[in-house]
């Protein structure tokens, strides 16, 4: 649980004062990923760095796990919060193993516990410990380095993680791959995560909540669906883009559409199906893309065992115009 | 060959003078490292001080060595050490400060800000950050400064013979005053050989040390 109360950061210089973060109020529930989104200079990174006191707060308060951060010992506070940055920040003079063990070592863990934790984390990140733990960071690819960066932040099992554009410097394919793995890991770990991004698609994909900032102000905070279906003001509308209806499709799966439409043209399956096939777990944006490229405007939906469930066509999308993911989960 | 004959008859003395020279330079640079490296680290954390310190050290470097030895004499006469070992050591320490302080300062400053940010954000204390991250990363550049300082003081140390500090400079000074060419040449060649061989040795030492602590990022 992280709570911001009137959090404000003012930079004073001789002739002027700049408010980088202005009166921010919101909270993040335990186990949630909250993505801070906004253009550069909007204050999102400043706000993130205020949480582990890399930037001191000017006014207001921030509470982590129910404790005001200013009342805690600064070193202890930082060791209890995982921190991942864009350019991984791995220590080039240490092996991968030593990098991962930095915080546990400072916390005084014994050798065996550190060794076990290190292997466990590397396996979780999909890197073979035997092959990689004795290597130096420069011997790894960018994507591998970033995985180690995340493993290092997770090492002492902190309840809270701060991530400053961790996938920002990676190419789109690796980024997508790491995002998926990150979500998989988060499902088990249930950390409370603050995640800075400037990429709306990343925010929609990863965030349980998305907070949009501009010039130090919180513009809107809500679930990705709320942000996309009901942008609060012109800035948010512009920032999420004119294709927000399309982006919203990524939040729903073919399965959700099937719940809404009864029948789903099962009768069409009597004959052999020669057209395109799509998984019931695919998101609706991909489904739409398949439909647009299908010669007769229809695709067959199959489940995980390749059993044919029905036929989807573009007109089905009308069903969900005013439907939100949270309504669907109730139907489920 | 006159030089060879000279070496043959005086090799014991040459060896002794070389050892003296090494002792002089070693002591001076040793003290310069002990004072210069912490000082460089200190000014790297205090930007306002850095410019002043680097300027002062730069000015000392521009004073011709023979003049600096001259300045030392009246000052050290106050404690009855006007000429000899002590003023020479002090002058050599002053000379080797600049490359050591400057390189330490630059090396610490040039540590990747992301790496520093990560170290602070993960909860390292300033001391832990220095010892575990910044100094190991800065090591090659600091070492380059030390090598520069050593080569520099081996050369300047030869001039210290004029104020009676001993070392290989003795041959050069004596040779000049007695117009004994072979003696001057042996002195000069010995000084250069010493400088080159110590630089090569330190280079090897540094390489061996850095291959363990790979520096690429």
Whether residue A259 sits in one domain with residue A231: no
Whether residue A31 sits in one domain with residue A137: yes
A285 close to A249: Cβ distance less than 8 angstroms = yes
Split at pLDDT 50, 70, 90, the class of A319 is confident
Residues of B with CB below 8 A from A77's CB?
123
Residue B216 lies in a domain: no
Cα(A80)–Cα(A53) distance, rounded to whole angstroms?
A: 12
- The residue from A202, A218, A249 where one domain ends is A249
Q: What is the CATH number of the domain that holds A296?
A: 3.90.1280
Q: Do B122 and A75 touch (CB under 8 A)?
A: no
Q: Do B213 and A93 touch (CB under 8 A)?
A: yes
Which backbone phi and psi does A312 adopt, to 5 degrees?
-110, 140
**DSSP state string for B152-208:** HHHHHHHHGGGGT--STHHHHHHHHHHT-HHHHHHHHHHHHHHHHHHHHHHHHHHHH
**Residue among A2, A108, A14, A94 nearest A52 (CA):** A2
Q: Do B114 and A137 touch (CB under 8 A)?
A: no
Q: Tell me what the mean pLDDT of segment A307-327 comes to.
A: 74
Whether residue A262 sits in one domain with residue A113: no
- Encode pLDDT of A10-39 as tens digits: 998 888 888 999 999 999 999 999 999 998
Q: Which residue is listed with tokens 């193993």?
A: A97
Whether residue A186 sits in one domain with residue A311: no
- pLDDT of A103 reads 93
Look at residue A304 and tell me whether its pLDDT is greater than 90: no
- Encode pLDDT of A33-49 as tens digits: 999 999 888 989 999 99
DSSP code at position A268: G
- A83 part of contact set with chain B, CB < 8 Å: yes
Split at pLDDT 50, 70, 90, the class of A263 is low
- Which run of H or of E encompasses A168? none
- A108 part of contact set with chain B, CB < 8 Å: no
Min CA distance, B55 vs chain A (Å)? 27
Q: Do A93 and B133 touch (CB under 8 A)?
A: yes
Decide which of B47 and A100 is more confident. A100
- Encode pLDDT of A193-213 as tens digits: 999 998 888 998 899 999 999
Residue B131 lies in a domain: yes
Cα(A10)–Cα(A12) distance, rounded to whole angstroms?
A: 6
Cα(B121)–Cα(A14) distance, rounded to whole angstroms?
A: 28
- pLDDT of B215 reads 47
Residue B217 lies in a domain: no
Whether residue A66 sits in one domain with residue A92: yes
Query: How many C-beta neighbours within 10 Å does residue A115 have?
Result: 15
Average pLDDT along chain A: 86
Domain hosting A313: range is 254-331
- pLDDT of B212 reads 54
- pLDDT of B133 reads 92
Whether residue A288 sits in one domain with residue A169: no
Q: Provide the number of CB pairs (under 8 Å) joining chain A to chain B.
A: 76
Whether residue A201 sits in one domain with residue A88: yes
Decide which of A297 and B123 is more confident. B123
- The residue from A201, A228, A249 where one domain ends is A249
Sites in chain B below the pLDDT cut of 70: 210-217
Whether residue A97 sits in one domain with residue A29: yes
Structurally, chain B folds into a number of domains equal to 1
Q: Of B118, B132, B217, which has the smallest distance from its Cβ to A85's Cβ?
A: B118
Residue B106 lies in a domain: yes
Q: Which residue is listed with tokens 């600064």?
A: A74
Whether residue A276 sits in one domain with residue A261: yes
Whether residue A300 sits in one domain with residue A156: no
Cα(A277)–Cα(B92) distance, rounded to whole angstroms?
A: 82
Q: Of B112, B120, B128, which has the smallest distance from its Cβ to A54's Cβ?
A: B120
Structurally, chain A folds into a number of domains equal to 2
Chain B residues bordering chain A (beta-carbon distance below 8 Å): 112, 114-115, 117-125, 128, 132-133, 136-137, 213-217
- Encode pLDDT of A109-154 as tens digits: 999 999 999 999 998 888 888 889 899 999 998 889 988 999 999 9
Q: Which residue is listed with tokens 């139907």?
A: A331
Residue A94 corresponds to which tokens in the numbers above?
A: 């240490």
Chain B residue with the nearest C-alpha to that of A164? B118
- pLDDT of A331 reads 47
Split at pLDDT 50, 70, 90, the class of A305 is confident
- The residue from A209, A225, A249 where one domain ends is A249
Cα(A210)–Cα(B188) distance, rounded to whole angstroms?
A: 74
- pLDDT of A232 reads 86
Look at residue A96 and tell me whether its pLDDT is greater than 70: yes
Q: What is the ipTM of this complex?
A: 0.80
Q: Tell me what the mean pLDDT of segment A3-11 comes to.
A: 91
Whether residue A170 sits in one domain with residue A304: no
Domain hosting B163: range is 2-211
Residues of B with CB below 8 A from A53's CB?
none
Q: Do B215 and A93 touch (CB under 8 A)?
A: yes
Whether residue A298 sits in one domain with residue A180: no
Look at residue A249 and tell me whether its pLDDT is greater than 70: yes
Residues of A with CB below 8 A from B214's CB?
92-93, 136, 138
Q: What is the CATH number of the domain that holds A196?
A: 3.40.50.300
Q: Tell me what the mean pLDDT of segment A91-109 comes to.
A: 92
Q: What is the CATH number of the domain that holds B39?
A: 1.10.3720.10
């Amino acid at each position: 649980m992280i709570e911001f109360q009137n959090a404000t950061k003012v930079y004073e210089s001789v002739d002027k004062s700049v408010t980088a973060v202005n009166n921010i109020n919101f909270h993040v529930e335990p186990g949630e990923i909250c993505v801070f989104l906004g253009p550069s200079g909007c204050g999102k990174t400043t706000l993130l760095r205020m949480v582990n006191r890399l930037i001191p707060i000017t006014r207001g308060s921030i509470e982590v796990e129910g404790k005001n951060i200013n009342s805690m010992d600064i070193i202890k506070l930082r060791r209890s919060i995982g921190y991942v940055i864009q350019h991984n920040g791995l220590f080039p003079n240490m092996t991968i193993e030593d990098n991962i063990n930095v915080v546990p070592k400072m916390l005084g863990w014994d050798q065996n516990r550190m060794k076990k934790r290190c292997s466990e984390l590397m396996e979780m990140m999909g890197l073979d410990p035997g092959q990689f733990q004795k290597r130096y960071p420069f011997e790894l690819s960018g994507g591998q380095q970033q995985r180690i960066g995340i493993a290092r932040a997770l090492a002492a099992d902190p309840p809270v993680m701060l991530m400053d554009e961790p996938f920002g410097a990676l190419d789109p394919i690796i980024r997508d791959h790491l995002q998926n793995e990150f979500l998989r890991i988060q499902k088990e770990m249930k950390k409370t995560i603050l995640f800075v991004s400037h990429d709306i698609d990343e925010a929609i994909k990863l965030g349980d909540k998305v907070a949009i900032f501009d010039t130090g102000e919180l513009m809107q905070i809500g679930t990705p669906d709320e942000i996309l279906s009901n942008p609060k003001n012109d800035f948010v509308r512009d920032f999420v883009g004119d294709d927000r209806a399309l982006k919203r499709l990524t939040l729903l799966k073919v399965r959700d559409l099937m719940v809404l439409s009864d029948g789903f043209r099962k009768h069409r399956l009597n004959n052999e199906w020669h057209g395109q096939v799509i998984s019931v777990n695919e998101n609706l944006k991909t489904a739409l893309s398949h439909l647009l490229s299908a010669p007769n405007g229809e695709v067959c939906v199959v489940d995980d065992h390749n059993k044919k469930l029905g036929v989807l066509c573009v007109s089905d999308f009308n069903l969900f115009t005013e439907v939100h993911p949270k309504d669907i989960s109730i139907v489920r | 060959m006159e030089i060879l004959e000279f070496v043959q008859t005086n090799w014991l003395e040459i060896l002794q003078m070389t050892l003296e020279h090494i002792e002089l330079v070693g002591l001076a640079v040793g003290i310069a490292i002990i004072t210069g490296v912490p000082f460089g680290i200190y000014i790297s954390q205090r930007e306002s001080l850095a410019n002043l310190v680097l300027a002062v050290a730069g000015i000392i470097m521009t004073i011709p060595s023979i003049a600096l030895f001259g300045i030392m004499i009246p000052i050290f006469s106050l404690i009855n050490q006007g000429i000899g070992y002590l003023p020479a050591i002090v002058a050599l320490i002053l000379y080797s400060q600049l490359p050591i302080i400057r390189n330490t300062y630059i090396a610490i400053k040039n540590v990747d800000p992301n790496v520093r940010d990560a170290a602070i954000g993960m909860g390292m204390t300033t001391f832990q950050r220095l010892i575990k991250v910044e100094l190991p990363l800065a090591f090659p550049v600091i070492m380059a400064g030390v090598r520069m300082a050593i080569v520099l003081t081996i050369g300047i140390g030869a001039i210290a013979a004029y104020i009676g500090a001993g070392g290989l400079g003795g041959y050069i000074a004596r040779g000049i005053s007695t117009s004994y060419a072979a003696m001057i040449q042996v002195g000069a060649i010995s000084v250069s050989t010493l400088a080159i061989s110590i630089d090569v040795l330190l280079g090897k030492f540094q390489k061996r040390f850095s291959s363990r602590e790979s520096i690429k990022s």
